[in-house]
Amino acid sequence: MSALLEIRDLRVTIGSTAAVRGASLSLDKGETHCLVGESGCGKSITALSVMGLLPRGAVRETTALRFAGEEIGHYGERQMERLRGDRMAMIFQEPMTSLNPAYTVGSQMTEVLRRHRGTPRAQAVDRAAELLARVGITAPGLRLGQFPHQLSGGLRQRVMIAMALMCDPELLIADEPTTALDVTVQAQILRLLAGLQKDLGLGILLITHDLGIVARVADRVSVMYAGEVVESAPTATLFAAPQHPYTRGLLSCVPVPGKVKRDEPLGSIPGVVPRIRPGFTGCGFRDRCAEATPACAGTIPRRDLGSGHEMLCVLDPGRDGKAAA
């Protein structure tokens, strides 16, 4: 079976920043693939590349960008518009990115269906109400007549999810969909996505900072650093036997119940994500890496550790007896 989404060797340059530098990842139908990494490492730019929504002036190159078996890398804006909101949809950290303050929830939701499918208004309204109910919004009829500013943050987030689902997409890209929400609403939204995925078989590419969320919902995890996917593995493998020094650093920042004493600072990786210029070579993490060697300034090999576990590093996997699973 071919992957639902396959990104191979994605490169994005924005002015003097190499935002993404040869990232590859793939996602199957019904799978949740989490993309993690510190701020500025290229997660959103990767997502926007798939949707054809890169900022003006960004230059994108790929060896392959396939959606449902079809190469879409050469698609123009008209063709991408046809896919977006229909077969692939994206939800953003800030709902007002996709909600228009000037229109009611109902008119925005039905517009998506009418545009892509030519669905008659009454039918589109029914569908919108059904989806609002499905994302846990009570009195959907009332909400359809309201404007985004009349809704709380949690409700807007749900409306955005419902709107993204209007055309039954096959792929949903969620960029930090819960960061702005309080923990209870966060949990509700994640449960909701998991339920929808089970019912609809949709593939989800979920971008998050929160490794607790990753552990709960991801089938596979890709760790990005400075525009590269430095490690990718099935979730259980990544948590049990992380190999890349950056992944290990990230995981050591997660509090382990019972192991962290109160008032003790959590582990963190010293230093910041560098801004990488075009033409940069070698490992982007080497200045922060305790295990760096002169080889890290050269070409970094992609290592296949078996069972879908890969890393981009000169170090020997299993160097400390902690072999890949």
Ligand X SMILES: Nc1ncnc2c1ncn2[C@@H]1O[C@H](COP(=O)(O)OP(=O)(O)OP(=O)(O)O)[C@@H](O)[C@H]1O
Q: Is 42 in the site for ligand X (CB under 6 A)?
A: yes
Please report whether residue 157 would count as binding Mg ion according to CB under 5 A: no
Binding-site member from 4, 5, 7, 40 for ligand X (CB under 6 A)? 40
Given ligand X, Mg ion, none, residue 42, with its beta carbon under 5 to 8 Å by kind, binds ligand X
Residue owning tokens 């909600």:
99
Q: Are 256 and 268 in contact (CB under 8 A)?
A: no
Question: Counting contacts by CB under 6 A, is residue 45 touching ligand X?
Answer: yes
Nearest distance, CB of residue 287 and ligand X, angstroms: 16
Residues 22-81 that bind Mg ion (CB under 5 A): 44
Binding site partner of 284, from Mg ion, ligand X, none, Cβ cut-off 5-8 A by kind: none
Site for ligand X in 238-297 (CB under 6 A): 275
How far is residue 42's CA from residue 29's CA, in Å, rounded to a whole number? 24
Full DSSP string of 148-185: GGGS-HHHHHHHHHHHHTTT--SEEEEESTTTTS-HHH
Q: What are the phi and psi torsion angles at 281 (to 5°)? A: -125, 160
Q: Which of 8, 14, 75, 117 binds ligand X (CB under 6 A)?
A: 14
CB closer to ligand X, 15 vs 141: 15
Shortest Å, Cβ 45 to ligand X = 3
Contact of 57 with 80, CB cutoff 8 Å: no
Q: How many residues bind Mg ion (CB under 5 A)?
A: 1
Q: Which residues lie below 8 Å from residue 48, measured CB to CB, with a gap of 6+?
A: 54, 55
Instruction: Kindly determine how many residues on this chain lie close enough to bind ligand X according to the rule CB under 6 A.
Output: 14
Residue found under tokens 């070579």: 281
Closest distance to ligand X from the beta carbon of 175 (Å): 7
Contact 64, 144 (CB under 8 A): no
The least distance separating ligand X from the CB of residue 255, rounded to whole angstroms, comes to 20
The answer to the question of residue 179 lying near ligand X (CB under 6 A) is no
Binding status of residue 178 toward Mg ion by CB under 5 A = no
Q: What does the alpha-carbon distance between residue 212 and residue 43 come to, in Å, rounded to a whole number?
A: 18
Which two tokens mark 301?
Answer: 């090999």
Q: Which residues bind Mg ion (CB under 5 A)?
A: 44
Q: List residues binding ligand X (CB under 6 A).
A: 14-15, 17, 19, 37, 39-45, 55, 275
